[in-house]
Chain A
Amino acid sequence: DAGVTQSPTHLIKTRGQQVTLRCSPKSGHDTVSWYQQALGQGPQFIFQYYEEEERQRGNFPDRFSGHQFPNYSSELNVNALLLGDSALYLCASRTGGSGYTFGSGTRLTVV
């Protein structure tokens, strides 16, 4: 089992562009959450998906959107990129009341 896989591992974008990050959850997991982690900070909750619907959202603007597919994989989309969006984006999956299994993240740099 590869656990949670994220792609790409690194990405450089220009301000104003749009980006899509991808996540495949661990086998057997049906819930996917996305986190943003800035340098020296803990992960900040963006949103969670379950049964293809956004179940809860953190304090992030509407520029951040997502999707979950029938196979439980998920995408995070960020529009109109700002320099401040530069961070490590983590995907985490779980099932039921279990703890999270994390991916290794996508490092997004906005220039």
Chain B
Amino acid sequence: AQRVTQPEKLLSVFKGAPVELKCNYSYSGSPELFWYVQYSRQRLQLLLRHISRESIKGFTADLNKGETSFHLKKPFAQEEDSAMYYCALRNTGGFKTIFGAGTRLFVKA
């Protein structure tokens, strides 16, 4: 069965500190992985996807198939990074996308 696990409900870091939001998945095929972000009073939006291999707002995420992980990282957190982050998996064939429960990131001044 497909599953996305985000083990931390809340992550609190100081401004300028590195941040890593964890995401583990279970899926038997070759998944597509995404990170979505929801800032306060805004709608859910795509942050990045693993096939793009890009850095968005300083965030990167590497797909580790051996560890079935897709952790989101940023070397220096900013206060504006405070938001809810969701890891998501899309199955091969690209129909259903499932989401983790989310991690709330709070960056303290």
Interface residues of A (CB under 8 A from B): 33, 35, 40-45, 48, 55-56, 58, 90, 92, 97, 99-105
- Evaluate contact between B101 and A42: CB separation under 8 angstroms: yes
Q: Closest 10 A-B residue pairs measured CB to CB?
A: A42-B99, A99-B46, A56-B95, A102-B44, A104-B43, A42-B101, A43-B99, A56-B96, A102-B43, A42-B102
Q: List B contacts of A41 (CB < 8 A).
A: 101-102
Which B residues fall within an 8 A CB radius of A?
4, 6, 32, 34, 36, 43-46, 49, 86, 94-102
Q: Assess whether A45 is in contact with B46, with CB atoms less than 8 Å apart.
A: no
Bound together, the chains give a CA A104 to CA B94 distance in angstroms of 23
**Which B residue's beta carbon lies closest to that of A42?**
B99
Of all chain B residues, the one with the shortest Cβ separation from A45 is B96
Least Cβ–Cβ distance between A66 and chain B, in angstroms: 14
